[in-house]
Each structure stands twice: as structure tokens, then as C-alpha cells.
Amino acid sequence: MERPSEPETVTVWDPLVRLGHWGLVVAFATAYLTEGEPEWLHTYAGYAIAGIVALRVIWGFVGPRRARFSDFVTGPGRVLAYLKGLLTGPSERHLGHSPAGGAMTVALLVALAATALTGMGNLAAEEGRGPLAGIVAQASDHGAGLDNHDEDDGAELWEETHEVAANLTLILIVLHLGGVALASYAHRENLARAMVTGRKRA
């Protein structure tokens, strides 16, 4: 008895997309779980997030077809239609990102960028270090005459904004995982494995 042949697969995700994806997983998990202890590990994980996000944005304009924003960024109508189909019946399978997957990709990149930037602002406000130290210091100079209480309020604002951005990112990640699981079931393919191998069913 002949064994059924394996379905034909094609390469969808290039190495940079895959490495960037898993790099962000590791960097965000490290930064979130350390919560600043030790500070150097938390800080460098944040720098890694900023660097990977910047590279992914550039790659979204100059990379191969499936990596480009033009391939998967659509209007809200298509996103909602895809989600409705996913939840209520047959939904269109996409070789690259689905409309909902594309929207989540953009949302995560924005949230991760906000988390990294507010983290740098927090480091600059509290310790006068990091890439934003000069900008934050200049802003403080413009507010010369403020007492220490006002300066503490500024540092606290950076910290609170950073925490909100990090927690929002975590919520998006949970939604992303749920969406991947649901789409994998609906389309009968392992989307997480595809992000490791780079290949999907043709």
C-alpha cells in the first residue's frame, strides 16, 4: 500500500523575517520577565527590540514579496471580513499574511517600537543614559526652574507610559497567538512551524 504523498510546499518566509520574528519573541520575553533586574539585561533586550523592529520596517519596503507591507496591509473591511469567515465558516486561505495577520503585524511593530522608545526615555529620565539622554535632558533644560518634584513627575510619566506600552504589547501577543491557533485549525496547517521552516503548503 502506497503512503500518501506529502503536500507540495513553497518558500514563503525569508530568513530575515523568520529570524526577526523569533528574535523579537526572545527579546520581548527577556525584557518583560526581567522587569529591570538585572538592569543591563533588560536594557539590552530593549535595544534588541528597537533594532529588530527598525530592520523589519525597512525590510517591509525593500524585502521579498511576502515580507513587504504592500503584500499584506489591507483596509479594515477586508480584515473584518476575514475574521468573520474564520469564526463563522470557510475563510479564504492566504499564502502570505492574511488580512488579520497583516493588521496584527503592523500593530505589534507599532507597540514594540513604542515600548522600546518609552523604555529609552525612562532610562534617560531616571539615569541620564541611553540614546534619548540628550533629548530628554534638553527638554528638561527648557523647563529650567522646575523643582525636583516636577522632575520626578516627568520620570514617573516615562515609567508609566513604558509599562502601559509593554502591557499593551503583551495583550496583542496573546491575541496573536490565539489568531495563529485559530487560523492553523481553520486552514489545516501549522503556521508556527511555517515561521520556523519558512515553507507553507502550495
CA–CA separation, 125 and 156 (whole Å): 9
CA–CA separation, 152 and 85 (whole Å): 50
Mean pLDDT of the chain, nearest integer? 90
For 77-87, letters b (16+ CB in 10 Å) and e give eebebbbeebe
- Please report which confidence band the pLDDT of residue 1 belongs to, taking 50, 70 and 90 as the band edges: very low
Query: Which phi-psi region, left, alpha or beta, contains residue 201 (left: φ > 0; alpha: ψ -120 to 50)?
Result: beta
On the question of pLDDT at 149 being above 60, the answer is no
Neighbour tally for 46: CB within 10 Å: 26
On the question of pLDDT at 152 being above 70, the answer is no
For 9-19, how does the pLDDT look when each residue is reduced to its tens digit (9 = 90+)? 999 999 999 99
- Does the pTM surpass 0.85? The reply is yes
Q: Determine the average pLDDT of the residues in 173-192.
A: 95
The single residue listed with the C-alpha cell 527579546 is 27
Joined together, the cell numbers standing for residue 108 give 505589534
Neighbour tally for 92: CB within 10 Å: 12
Quick one: pLDDT at residue 104?
98
- HEC sequence for 112-131: HHHHHHHHHHHHHHHHCCCC
CA 147, 149, 151: angle at the middle one, nearest 5?
75
Higher pLDDT, 143 or 103: 103
Q: Which residues contact 17 (CB under 8 A, 6 or more apart)?
A: 56, 59, 63, 66, 67
Angstrom CA distances, 109 to 58, 112, 141, stand at 12, 5, 32
Lowest-pLDDT choice from 47-56, 64-73, 134-143: 134-143
What are the structural domain ranges in the chain?
Answer: 9-140+161-201
CA–CA separation, 49 and 38 (whole Å): 17
CA 97, 165, 146: angle at the middle one, nearest 5?
150
